[in-house]
Amino acid sequence: MTVAATAQDPTLPFHDVWWISLIKLVGVFVVLLLLTLFTINYERKVVARMAVRPGPNQVGPKGWLQSLTDGLKLPFKEEIIPKTADKVVYFIAPVISCTTAFTAFSVIPFAGVVNMFGHQTALQLTDVPVSVLVLLACSSMSVYGVVLSGWASGSTYPLLGGLRSSAQMISYEVAMGLSIVAVFMTAGTMSTSEIVKAQGQGNPVHIFGMDLTAPGWYAVLLLPSFVIYMIAAVGETNRAPFDLPEAESELVGGFHTEYSSFKFAMFFLAEYINMITVSAFCTTLFLGGWRAPWPITAFWHGASAGYFGVIWFLLKVLIFLFGFIWLRATLPRMRYDQFMRFGWKVLIPVNLVWILFLSYVKVANDNIASTTKWLTIAGLVIVVLLIALFWPASRKPRQVSIEEQLAARPPGSFPVPPLDLQVPPSPRARRAVAERTPAAVGGDSETKEV
């Protein structure tokens, strides 16, 4: 028995008959698989285009079936399991990563209410009052798959990669969660469908004698939270330039070094589904979800009705996926200590200050006169600008020479590299410089002591 609703009704029914729920469940699974195959080829083609080289172009029309053949090949490859691996945990780890990646999509709305075989149903698998917490919980659980895979491999480098990846994901998950707090405060709900509904209210705008409605997208109203979420999403999904767990020059392949065949394919699948999930989550929280963009809704009121919402939703997700790919093709990999320092000392403090400021504005709208409110906000902005302007620049510590470092060590200590990682120039290089510029070094290069 379904709850009747029209396509314009904002009330989303979720009391579906069992076969409608099964269709939506299978549909979400199939859409994620197809999006994963598309995103892999999409990434390879975009990166090839940016690098001015040919991408996949042999399998299928213009190479678009290349990722499908790779996906079919991986399960049939030889599987190599290390002797020292914990067999049970070794098998469960990729299952955890894939399961959490699929589960997170269960509360993402693809569209509003649609007609499916004569039944009115919301194009969303399910919704609960704390849907956003479900997404965050799935993101937290995916850390277990990473760290367990590194531990169960029974090898040093996967263990280091798993620990480093878990520290990275936990750190940036804090910044991501704080950026979502601003959305809770503004929308007054944690339900994903209600957050999309709140962004669809719009703001009245008067242009050229016409009364239009501008979108109340939180990407505009909560711009700092939107920017911080996008940065944290890249770190959360271990994507370039934050792909430290897969730093080939340091840790071979990271936590999945000892995985092959179908288990490796599951990790690969989970990574791309996580990319799609955070893109869909960002679309839902900050870009109005499945609703059409403002210029279109101002003149076409039925642009988001029915299955049209799926088109707008997928277009927004593809734009975010292009952002992931653009970063990979543009920015170099960060150093790990810089990456962690940026998350804990920049993103989290800025997020906390922004939430406090937003809380003041929310209280001021209810209890403080308009003039006093704006004067206070202007005063806070001026104080922040003055602090940023006159804040004393941090002095760089004095560079300690290699000779001073060596002299400071106790005699008989084990020789270790200098603290600043400087490598002394070779005598031959210094002799070559002296031979090229004898006047600059003080006379004849042959008699100059090197």
Mean pLDDT for the stretch of residues 148-162: 86
Phi-psi category of residue 155: left, alpha or beta, with phi > 0 → left and psi -120 to 50 → alpha: beta
Lowest-confidence segment of 12-16, 32-36, 342-346, 364-368 by average pLDDT: 12-16
Lowest-confidence segment of 211-220, 402-411, 414-423, 425-434 by average pLDDT: 414-423
Mean pLDDT score of the chain, rounded to an integer? 79
d(C-alpha 139, C-alpha 261), whole Å: 25
Give domain status of residue 76, yes or no. Answer: yes
- Residue 355's nearest CA partner among 100, 175, 193 is 175
d(C-alpha 266, C-alpha 95), whole Å: 7
Domain that holds residue 79: 18-365
pLDDT value at residue 283: 92
pLDDT value at residue 9: 41
pLDDT band at 8 (very low <50, low <70, confident <90, very high): very low
pLDDT band at 419 (very low <50, low <70, confident <90, very high): low
d(C-alpha 284, C-alpha 417), whole Å: 50
Q: What is the 3-state secondary structure (H, E, C) of 369-392?
A: CHHHHHHHHHHHHHHHHHHHHHCC
The packing angle between helices 192-199 and 261-286, to 10°, is 40
Give domain status of residue 435, yes or no. Answer: no
pLDDT value at residue 161: 81
447: pLDDT strictly greater than 60: no
Give domain status of residue 196, yes or no. Answer: yes
* b/e sequence 305-340, b meaning 16+ C-beta within 10 Å: beebbbebbbebbbebbeebbeebeeeebbebeebb
Give domain status of residue 203, yes or no. Answer: yes
Q: For residue 202, what are its two tokens?
A: 């719009």
3-state DSSP call for residue 122? strand
86: pLDDT strictly greater than 80: yes
| Percent of residues, the chain, with pLDDT higher than 90 | 10
pLDDT value at residue 1: 34
Lowest-confidence segment of 256-260, 360-364, 423-427 by average pLDDT: 423-427
pLDDT value at residue 292: 83
- Residue 323's nearest CA partner among 32, 52, 43 is 43
pLDDT value at residue 364: 73
- End-to-end C-alpha distance for the chain, whole angstroms: 91
Q: Phi, psi (5° rounding) for residue 197?
A: -65, -40
- Inter-residue contact 275 to 235 (CB < 8 Å): no
Give domain status of residue 439, yes or no. Answer: no
Length, in residues, of the chain: 450
Lowest-confidence segment of 233-242, 262-271, 403-412 by average pLDDT: 403-412
Q: How many domains are contained in the chain?
A: 1
**Angle at the Cα of 158 from the Cα atoms of 155 and 160, rounded to 5 degrees:** 105
Give domain status of residue 406, yes or no. Answer: no
3-state DSSP call for residue 118? coil
- Residue 240's nearest CA partner among 437, 16, 47 is 47
d(C-alpha 301, C-alpha 98), whole Å: 39
4: pLDDT strictly greater than 80: no
20: pLDDT strictly greater than 80: yes
Residue with more model confidence, 440 or 136: 136
Specify the amino acid at residue 306. G
Q: Phi, psi (5° rounding) for residue 242?
A: -110, 25
pLDDT band at 395 (very low <50, low <70, confident <90, very high): low
The packing angle between helices 261-286 and 156-187, to 10°, is 20
Residue with tokens 């109203």: 221
Cis peptide before 349 (omega within 30 of 0): no
164: pLDDT strictly greater than 70: yes
Give domain status of residue 372, yes or no. Answer: no
Mean pLDDT for the stretch of residues 77-98: 88
302: pLDDT strictly greater than 70: yes
Q: For residue 38, what are its two tokens?
A: 């598309």
Residue with tokens 């780890």: 93
pLDDT value at residue 313: 92
> Which residues are CB-neighbours of 72 under 8 A, at least 6 positions away?
none
pLDDT band at 367 (very low <50, low <70, confident <90, very high): low
pLDDT value at residue 442: 47
pLDDT tens across 172-227, in order?
A: 888 898 999 888 888 888 888 888 888 876 554 444 444 444 457 888 888 889 99
pLDDT value at residue 208: 42
Give domain status of residue 266, yes or no. Answer: yes
d(C-alpha 291, C-alpha 142), whole Å: 29
Q: Phi, psi (5° rounding) for residue 205?
A: -130, 135
d(C-alpha 165, C-alpha 188), whole Å: 33
CA distances from 226 to 65, 180, 424 (A): 35, 9, 46
d(C-alpha 300, C-alpha 279), whole Å: 26
Mean pLDDT for the stretch of residues 292-314: 80
pLDDT value at residue 248: 55
Cβ atoms within 10 Å, residue 237: 24
- Inter-residue contact 44 to 56 (CB < 8 Å): yes
DSSP state, residue 111: S
- Inter-residue contact 82 to 127 (CB < 8 Å): no
| Percent of residues, the chain, with pLDDT higher than 70 | 76
E strand map for 104-263: 113-116, 119-122, 203-207, 210-214
Determine whether 25 is exposed, middle or buried from the number of CB atoms within 10 Å of its CB (0-12, 13-18, 19+): middle
pLDDT value at residue 62: 87
